[in-house]
Each structure stands twice: as structure tokens, then as C-alpha cells.
Amino acid sequence: MAIPTDPTLAGVAAAPPADVAKADVEVALESLSQWQLAWRRFRKHRMAMVGLGFFAFMILVAIFGPIIMPFDPTNIPGTTNPAGYPPSLAHLFGTDTVGRDVFAMVVNGARISVAIGGFSMLIAGFIGVVVGAVAGYFGGWVDNVLMRVVDTFFAIPLLFVILVAAKFFGQGQVISLIVIFGVLSWPLIARLVRAQFLSLREADFVEAARAVGVRDGRITFRHILPNAIGPVIVAMTLIMASNIVLEAFVSYLNFGISANQTSWGNALANAQSALGLGNWWWAFFPGMAIAVTVMSINFVGDGLRDALDPRTRL
């Protein structure tokens, strides 16, 4: 047999520069999986790393909120001063019109925002991936029907749904907002997944898998889904960010979280009535919390977009 066991070594035997060949072997040793590679690319994205750091911090705040909250966000701490204190050591972010601690409100708002953004994202991701995959894989009339459903969802006005839902779930429940936002944002994911499936179904490597006799189920889960998932994850981060903004928006309009709970949107709505008084901290801290969180998530999405694209090279 003319085929050597180890072509690289055979090549070295025939060609002199041992150092060059050694360099090749060293490269060969650092064999990384796609996910390891993605993480490596992600780490090089400075803004994405900053975003990820802040976002992780927000999640910690949301989880451990009750422990770090110095005051109950809904109750007035031991003061009768309704006009509110400016930021001080006792009240880091000051107090609001009725004397509630703004820091506690922001922390509690983080719990609500992260919960609404995160869980609605998961709902949207789950429904979207399933519907999109079914439509994209089966094609034909199944695809046609599902895509018309998607079109219909795109046409539903948000506030109308919230008003209707309020009748069934009761006004201002976090759970109802999660369900509404999730159910309204899956069509975006479904469209994306379907498009990915349609193009990946024609990919040479899928054809190759079919050619060696791989069954349809495995093709879907081992070939198509892993390659479709990158753009889906990116889209999901964007949905999370936009749903956090949406919560603030509907709460600000008093259609969202009920006024006796404190979300970031509620805090802003309260602050608006008293902005003329020059109490900037009422609006500033909740506003900053929304802006920085949403920006962080978007940076993470940007980083993921580059990191998960197999075409991006190291």
C-alpha cells in the first residue's frame, strides 16, 4: 500500500523544514468545537462582553432582589414626607412622590422586566421554532396554512389584545403580559426558522446525509436545526430587548403592570406627573435601567450574530 499512515510525517520525511511542519501539528492540536469557537469569537467582541456583563448583573439583581432591597418598594419607609428625598446614603436613588425608595423600585422593576423579557422570549422561541420547523420541513399546504396564521398574528394590534386579555386574566398581571408578549412575538421567529429550513433543506451537506441513508428525523435534528439555531438565538435576544421596552411602554400607558406594583414603566409614569418639580431622580434611574439593559441585550445579540456565523473566521 502506497498510502502512508501519517501523511504529514511522510511529507516531513520528504521535505526538510521540520519547524514548519511542527507549526502545523501544533495548530492541529487545538481542535475546537463550533461552540467553543463561537465563544472565542464572542469574547473578542468588546461591547458584547460589556453587554453580557451588565446583563448578567441585571439577572443577579432580579434573582436576589428581595435580599438586596433595603426597603419594600411598595411601602413608604419610615417617613411622612410625600415630596421625596433626593439621592442620599439612606436612599441611594432618592424617594418618590409618595416616599417610596426609588432604588427598591428599580430593583423590583428589574425582576419584572427580566421576567417578562425572558419568559416571553422563551415562549416566542418555543412556538416559533416548532411552527417554523414544521412549515419549513414539510412545505406544501402545511407551510401555506401556517404562514397565513403567521400573517394574521402580524396584523393583530397590541393594545387591543392587552385590553381583551385584561378582561380574562385580570388587569396588570405579570403572567398575562408574559403570555401576551410571547404569543405576539413568535411569528417573527417562525418566519426566520422557516426561511432557514427552506434554504438548509437544499444544502449540499443535507443532500449528502440523505445520500448515505440518514433518516429524516436525524437530518432535522442533527443537520438542519443546529445550523438554523444561530440566527434564531440572535433574533430571540432582540425579542427580549424589545419586549422589555414594550412592557415599559404599556405600563407607562397604564395598560400594563398594575399601578400598585413597581415596574420600570410604572416608575416612569409616576415620575412624569412630577417632573416639573425638578426631581430628576424619579425618571432618571428607571429610565437609565431600561436604556442600559436594552442596550446590553442588543450588544449581546450583535456579538452572537458574529460569533454564531460559521463564515466568520478566526
Partner 1 sequence: MPRIPQTQGDPPPSDILLDVRDLRTHFRVMDGTVPAVDGVSFQVRRGETLGVVGESGCGKSVTALTIMRLIETPPGEIVSGEVWFDGRDVLQLSQDEMLDVRGAEMAMIFQEPMTSLNPVLTVGDQIVEAVVAHKKINHRAALDRAVEMLRLVGIPEAPRRVKQYPHEMSGGMRQRVMIALALSCDPKLLIADEPTTALDVTIQAQILELIRKVQAETGTALLLITHDLGVVAETVQRVVVMYAGKVVETGTVDEVLQDPKHPYTEGLLASIPSKGMRGTRLNVIKGSVPNPFRMPVGCRFHPRCPYAFDPCPDHEPPLDEQGNPERRVACWLHTKPPFGLEHRPRYGTATPLAVEAAGEAVR
Partner 2 sequence: MSGLGGIPPEARDLEVPAATVVPTNGSGRGGVATGSSPAHDEVPAPPGDGTALLEVEDLVKYFPILGGVLRRHVADVKAVDGVSFSVKRREVFGLVGESGCGKTTLGRALLYLQPPTSGRVRLDGQDLHALKPEQLRRMRAKMQIIFQDPYGSLNPRMPVSDIIGEGLLAQGLKDHRVRMKRVEDSLEAVGLRRDYTRRYPHEFSGGQRQRIGIARALALNPEFVVCDEPVSALDVSIQSQILNLLLDLREQFGLTYLFIAHNLSVVQYISDRVGVMYLGRMVELAGVGELYERPRHPYTVALLSAVPEVDRARARKRIVLRGDVPSPVNPPSGCHFHPRCWLRERLGNPEICSTVDPRLHVVGEGHAAACHFADRIEQERDRAAKPVVAPASAPAGA
Size of the site for partner 1 (CB under 8 A): 22
If one asks whether residue 260 binds partner 2 (CB under 8 A), the answer comes out as no
Choose, by CB under 8 A, the member of 17, 33, 89, 217 that binds partner 2: 33
Q: How far apart are CA 79 and CA 72, in angstroms?
A: 13
Q: Which does 276 bind (CB under 5 to 8 A by kind): partner 1, partner 2, none?
A: none
The residue with cell 446583563 is 55
Options 14-22, 97-105, 244-252, 292-300: segment touching partner 1 (CB under 8 A):
14-22
Per the structure block, which three cell numbers stand in for 135? 412549515
Minimum distance of partner 2 from residue 230's CB (angstroms): 9
Q: What angle do CA 148, 150, 156 make, to 5 degrees?
A: 105
Q: Which of residues 197-236 bind partner 2 (CB under 8 A)?
A: 203-205, 207-215, 218, 222-223, 226-227
If one asks whether residue 74 binds partner 2 (CB under 8 A), the answer comes out as no
Options 16-24, 112-120, 149-157, 213-221: segment touching partner 1 (CB under 8 A):
16-24
If one asks whether residue 72 binds partner 2 (CB under 8 A), the answer comes out as no
Q: Which does 80 bind (CB under 5 to 8 A by kind): partner 2, partner 1, none?
A: none
Q: Which does 296 bind (CB under 5 to 8 A by kind): partner 2, partner 1, none?
A: none
Minimum distance of partner 1 from residue 310's CB (angstroms): 14
If one asks whether residue 43 binds partner 1 (CB under 8 A), the answer comes out as no
Q: Give the footprint of partner 2 on this chain (CB under 8 A).
A: 1-3, 5-8, 28, 31-34, 37, 203-205, 207-215, 218, 222-223, 226-227, 310, 313
